[in-house]
Each structure stands twice: as C-alpha cells, then as structure tokens.
Structure 1
Amino acid sequence: MAKVGGVVAAGFLGLSGLIWFVNLPYPMIRRPVAGIAPMLLLPSYLSMDRNYREAIAHVEQADQLVNQATSAADIGLGAEKVKLAQENLDQLPVWFLGYEPVRMCHFMGCSWNFTFDEFSRARAQVGRMNARIFQENNALTQLQTAETDLQKAKQAYQTATNVSQQQNAIADWQTALDQLTVLPRETLAGTTGATKYRNYERDFNRVVGSVAGSNQTQTMIAAAQQFAALATQNSQKSAYTVTEWQQIETLWSNAIDRLQKVDSTDPDYLAAQSYLADYTQKLGVVKTRLETEEKSTLAIAEAKRQTQELISSLPSKPNPDERNRLISRLQGIIDQLKQVQPNTTVYAEAQTLLKQAQSKLSQL
C-alpha cells in the first residue's frame, strides 16, 4: 500500500513538474505545447485571462482618476492604477498572439483573445497617462513651492522692521504670485492655482496697498517689455517657418496678456495702454505673416504632389489629347506655385519650380 502511495505521489509530482515546466514563460516551450496539448497550458491561460481583465479594469480606473482628478490623492491613486495596468500588460505574452488555442477559447470564451493593435493601444494609453501624471505631479510641486514661497514672503513682510525689508518681502511676495500664473491651465494644479491666485492677490492688495499695486503694475509692464523685446529680436529675418512665427506670436500674446491685467485705476494705466496698442498692432502683422507662410507652404506642397502625379503618368509619346491634358495639368501646377508669396521660407524654391514648369510648358 505504501508503495502504491509512493508511486501516486511520484506521479503527481512528476505531472506537477511537467505542468510547471510547460508553463514557463518561454515561446520555445509554450508554442509547441499550445498546438499539441493546450490543456497543459491551462494555468497560463487562466493567468492571461486574469491579467487581461485586470489590465482593462485598471486602465479604465486610471483614466477616470487621472483625467477627472479633483485632488492630489486622485493623481496618486491614478498613478497606482497605471502602474498596476502596466504590470498586467507586462504579464501578457505578446508573442502568443496568433497562437492561442482556438478550440479551447471556443468553449471557454477567452477574454484575452485580442490583437497586436489592441495591445499596442492599451500600452499607448498607459504611456499617455504616465505622461499626464508626470505633468500633473510637476505642476503640483510648482504649486506647493509657490504657496510656500508666498507664505514666507507674507510672514517676512509682517515682521519687517524697515522699508528695505518690506520692499524685499513685497518683491518675493509678487514673485510667488507670478509663479501661480504660469502653472499649466489644463492640470489640476493650474485650475487650483487660478482659484487660489485670485484669493492671494486680493489679500496681497489689501495688505500691501497701493504701493504694492504700483510695483505689480511696473512688474507687469517690465515683463511685457521683455516678451516684446524677445519677439522683436526673433523677427529680424525676412522669412520664418510656421513654427517660428507661432513662437513669435506667442511672445507678443504674452506681452499683451500682461498689459491687459493693468487696472484702469492704476497710475501707470495710460503707459500700459500705449504699449498695448503698439504690441497689438505688431501681433496683427505677425498673424498675417503666419497665415501667409501657412498658405505658401501648403501651396508648394500641393504643387509638388501634382508634379509627382504628372511624372508618374507621363506617356512616352503623347497623342494630341494627352498633350492637351498635360498642358492643362502643368498649367494647374504653375497656378499653384504662383500662390507662394514672397518673404516666405518656400518662395525661392517655388520660383525655381515655377521656372522649370513654365519651361516645360513652352516645350509642349
């Protein structure tokens, strides 16, 4: 009897060892077994099924927490869910896609029967949420730093014993307030900071009074002038790319945004309005140049596309009808190139292509 029990135990251990071996996460082991004896891979299938279900659940939970966060705790919990989703996805053997046991899945309804595209989308979504969490955490850190600096400056102002100390405290206080205005608006910290900024600014104006208000206005005007100077410095060439014009446009917009914050009751209001009128006019010029660059870039791109189509369909010996069609299409390319305006980055290239097209047209 003992021998029989020993044999059974040995057989059980042997079977357990076999199942353990064939379920090792190596394609060279699992793939042949999946085609011959898929039942032996049942532990792997169950693990895959569980990880796939949990990955989907964690991704959905993380999406809700991260993209609809109302507190830092939501961001932290969302980060945990993203990490769990990543761990679940890491447990799914991508090499196994296309080798799943079709017959077994027919009876068991495998929920992990997915494609490479679905797997890639899930990973991409996790990646986007990781980037969003990184941005949110950075913004929260900036918000906390700004609030800490603000409280320190406020305390320094209240304990100042002379005018110099008060002025230094006011400057630090204003710097902390400015930090709240540069938080990314699409983040939780940006939304929270915008609300807190109004309260902090009201407290700042109440405590510091008109002197601080005047200093704040001067700071705003100085900041606007810095943005304007940089925009002017970056506008010296006759032509810029679309991206470069957009950057210049942003600089002018930032300068205007700061001037628009100057209150009409402030002593420096008229000076701010003078700068505002000048900067608004220059922003209009930049917008026009940007639009011209965009249209010219699109025009030459379309001309190149039509040229490639014409070359690919060009007959070796065109008959009269084909010759007329070639003339018509070539004229269309010429008209497209004529839309490219001077003082754009693509004008010189467009002129070269235009001469070539006109020369070819004259030959026809």
Structure 2
Amino acid sequence: MFGKIKFAAIIVGGTAGILWVVNLPYPMIRQPVAQAAPLLLLPSFMSMDLHYRGAIDSLEQADQLISKATSIADIERGGEKVKDAKKHLEYLPVWFLGYYPQRYCTLFGCSWKFTFDEFEQARQRVARLEAVAFQDKNALVPFNEAQKALLTAKQEYQEAKNTKDREIAIASWQTAIDKLDQISQQTFAGKNSQTQLAAYKRDFENVQISNFIAAAQEFDLEAQKVKSTNSQAASELWQQAITRLEQVPNKNPRYLDAQKLIAAYQVKQNTVVDQRSSTLIEAGKQYALAAAKSAQNPPHTTQRWGQIGELWEDAIQQLKRIEVTEPSYVEAQTLIAQYQTNLGTIKIRQQMESDAVEILNEANKEIQRLIASPPTDKNQIRAEIQGVMTQLNTIKPGTTAYAESQRLLTLANQRIQQLK
C-alpha cells in the first residue's frame, strides 16, 4: 500500500515538475509546446490572465480614487491600488508578446489581447498615478501644518489682551494663509485649500480691520491721557492710530468709519502740535459758516451780498496768517482756494444785483416820463415801450428786481396790445 502511495507521489511530482519546466518563461521551450500540446501551458496562461485583469482593474480603481478623491482615505486607498497594479504588471511576461499561442486561443477562445504598447502604457500609467499619489501625500504635510497653525492663531487672537498680542496672532494667521495659498492646486490638498481660502481670507480681513480700528481707539485713549502733560507723546500716539486706520481698504464696509476716525484724530493731533494754526483755521471756518448761512434763501440786496462777501474775505484773511512752516499750512491753503471760489461767486451775484436794480430804476424813470408826457403818435409810443421792455428783459432771475421787472413787462405788453 505504501509503495503505491509512493509511486503515485512520484508520478504526481514528476508531472508537476514537467509542467513547471514547460511553463518556464523561455520561448525556446514554450514555442514548441504551444504548437504541440498547448494544454500544458494552461497554468501560465491562467496566471497571465489573472494578472492582466488584476492590473487593469487596479489601475482603473486607482485612477478613480486619486483623480476624484473626496478624502485623504481615498488618496491612501488609491496609492494601495497603484501598488497592486504594479505587482500584477511585474507578473506579466514581456517575452510573451512575441509568442502569442494562436493554437491555444483557437482551442480555448482567448477573450483578451495583450500587446507591447498596452504593456508600456500600463507601466506609464502606473508611474503617473504613483507620482500623483506621492505628491498628494507630500502636499498633505504643509496642508495639515497650515491648518493647525491657522487654528492656533485664531485661538491666540481670541485670547489676546492687548494690541501687541493681537498683532502677533494676526501675523501668524497671515503666515498660515500664505502657506495654504502656496500648495499646488494640482494636488488634493491644494484643491481643498483653495475652496477654503476664500472663507479664511474673508474672516482674516474682518479680523484685521477690526484690529486696526480697535488699536486706533486704544491709541486715542492713551493720547487723551497724556496730552496735557506730554503733547509730543500724544501726537505720536494719534499718528499710530491714523497709520492703522489708513490700512483699511476703500472697498471694505468699514472704510467710511475709519476715515471719520482719521479726520477726528488729525484734528486732535493738530490741536496739540499746532495750537495757533488750529485756532486760526477754526476762526476761518466760523467766518465761512456765517457767510454760508447769510447767503441762504436769495435773492438778497446789493448791500447784503457785500456783507456776505466781507465774511468770506475775513475767513480768507484768518487762514492767510498761517505760515508755510506750520503743519496746518497745506490745509489752510486748501480752504483758502475753496473760500476764494465762494467769494468770487458772491461778487458775481452782488454785481448782478446792482445791475438789475439800476436797470429797473432806469426803466421806471422811462415809464414815468411816458406817463407824464406821452407821445401823440401811437407808433412812437409803441417803440418807446418796446425799448423799456428790452431793458427789463436783461434783468436776470435771482435778483430782487426780477419779480418787479416781470410785472412791468406784463403791463407793457398789455399796453402794446391796446395800441394795435
């Protein structure tokens, strides 16, 4: 019994040995066997078929997982599939490409074809996906570091007790955003960071603007405390406040608030630095305000326009006392230019009023003369009335004489109609 078992084992072992030899990857052995007994090559063909399908399936899965990744786990899984595809390709014999078993395929109906070009393309695809997976994994390192740094900066900003600490946290926040912005957008981490960056930058800008305004207000409070004892230190504090506020971009909703604060702090700064010129500017503005109020609700008499013009001249004279060496000189010159333009307008209105009154008076004298001694000839009367109407038509709106001129024109026109 034992002998039979031993004999059977020898037979099986010998058969296995023969199959192993004929399935070795050597064309000089496989080619004659493929022509005479292709069934003996069945194990190697089954193995090739298995690895061929395994390589194709693994490549497709890897491509889907990496190119359409939705999480880090997809990248990891995709990398594993690339490794599987690479192993399957290593088991596919390149030597087989020139010795395809036609007789074997005739007998058993091969359902796939394997060419050298396909093999090379598969290898290139594996290399590409392997590189993409490698880059994606590498990009996750700065992505995770930047995310962690950003969260830390936010926490530090919330816990900050003063402007200095807040600005240190903001600087770290900006650095974290810059790191995220530098990650290649071709990677999974880069695509994720780009979708988040818009929100990060918006939050950062809001925090930065809030800090600019909060810092400026803190500097203002400090300046108010020391202005009576140290005007130079107060001026420097207000300058720091202004510098912070000037960084608020004009597209930001809080830009106008920042500009109002800048204007207020500049006035305070000028007050402590240049008391004399500040007083002169304030005096000039008071004269200008009085002139503007007096000019409301025209028309006014020639005398009234003259008084308004004098107020503008007084405002200009106050501002002209500010020397070129004084800090407020530029502001004073700007106001002088505005006030001189207003003064010119007032002088035009005054002259227009004077001319209108004079014309009206002349017209009235002519009318009285016609009433006292009217010509006997109708055509002559009509011509003299037309002359008076021509004079009255030169009186411009906005003068005290305009309403009366219109009334006289109506009466003159009626008189002409009666003479027809």
TM-score normalized by structure 2? 0.47
Q: How far apart are residue 189 of structure 1 and its match?
A: 1.9
Q: Which 4+ runs in 1 deviate beyond 6 A?
A: none
Where does residue 94 of structure 2 map in the other structure? 94
Where does residue 244 of structure 1 map in the other structure? none
Give the Cα–Cα distance (whole angstroms) in 2 for the partners of residues 263 and 80 of structure 1.
Answer: 52
Task: Map 1:137-216 to 2 at 5 A.
Answer: 137-211=137-211
Give the Cα–Cα distance (whole angstroms) in 2 for the partners of residues 212 and 32 of structure 1.
Answer: 87
Where does residue 39 of structure 2 map in the other structure? 39
Q: How many residues align?
A: 221
Task: Map 1:18-33 to 2 at 5 A.
Answer: 18-25=18-25, 30=30, 33=33
Give the Cα–Cα distance (whole angstroms) in 2 for the partners of residues 50 and 135 of structure 1.
Answer: 30
- Could you report, residue by residue, the CA deviation over 1:10-31 in whole angstroms, capped at 9, with x for unpaired residues? 1111111222333345566545
Where does residue 384 of structure 2 map in the other structure? none
Task: Map 1:171-320 to 2 at 5 A.
Answer: 171-211=171-211, 264-265=251-252
Give the Cα–Cα distance (whole angstroms) in 2 for the partners of residues 97 and 157 of structure 1.
Answer: 66
Larger radius of gyration: 2
Give the Cα–Cα distance (whole angstroms) in 2 for the partners of residues 206 and 264 of structure 1.
Answer: 12
Contact preservation (8 Å) 1:205, 1:212? no
Where does residue 69 of structure 1 map in the other structure? 69
Contact preservation (8 Å) 1:53, 1:112? no
Q: What is the identity percentage for the equivalent residue pairs of Structure 1 and Structure 2?
A: 50
Letter of the 2:8 partner, please give it: V
Give the Cα–Cα distance (whole angstroms) in 2 for the partners of residues 107 and 41 of structure 1.
Answer: 13
Q: How far apart are residue 32 of structure 1 and its match?
A: 5.6
Q: How far apart are residue 186 of structure 1 and its match?
A: 3.2
Inter-CA distance 142–92: structure 2 relative to 1 (3 Å threshold): same
Letter of the 1:181 partner, please give it: D
Contact preservation (8 Å) 2:181, 2:193? yes
Give the Cα–Cα distance (whole angstroms) in 1 for the partners of residues 162 and 51 of structure 2.
Answer: 66
Give the Cα–Cα distance (whole angstroms) in 1 for the partners of residues 76 and 51 of structure 2.
Answer: 22
Q: Where in structure 1 are there 5+ consecutive unaligned residues?
A: 216-261, 268-364
Moved more, 175-184 or 157-166: 157-166
Give the Cα–Cα distance (whole angstroms) in 1 for the partners of residues 156 and 146 of structure 2.
Answer: 15
Letter of the 2:173 partner, please give it: W
- Could you report, residue by residue, the CA deviation over 1:308-358 in whole angstroms, capped at 9, with x for unpaired residues? xxxxxxxxxxxxxxxxxxxxxxxxxxxxxxxxxxxxxxxxxxxxxxxxxxx
Q: Per the alignment, in what secondary structure is the counterpart of residue 209 of structure 1? A: helix
Give the Cα–Cα distance (whole angstroms) in 2 for the partners of residues 28 and 209 of structure 1.
Answer: 80
Letter of the 1:14 partner, please give it: G
Q: How far apart are residue 138 of structure 1 and its match?
A: 2.5
Q: How far apart are residue 171 of structure 1 and its match?
A: 0.7
- Could you report, residue by residue, the CA deviation over 1:48-96 in whole angstroms, capped at 9, with x for unpaired residues? 0010011111111111111111221211111111111111111100011
Q: Per the alignment, in what secondary structure is the counterpart of residue 73 of structure 2? A: helix
Where does residue 303 of structure 1 map in the other structure? none
Contact preservation (8 Å) 2:82, 2:126? yes
Inter-CA distance 164–154: structure 2 relative to 1 (3 Å threshold): same
Q: How far apart are residue 179 of structure 1 and its match?
A: 1.6
Give the Cα–Cα distance (whole angstroms) in 2 for the partners of residues 152 and 32 of structure 1.
Answer: 72
Give the Cα–Cα distance (whole angstroms) in 2 for the partners of residues 172 and 9 of structure 1.
Answer: 76
Q: How far apart are residue 120 of structure 1 and its match?
A: 0.6
Contact preservation (8 Å) 1:34, 1:99? no
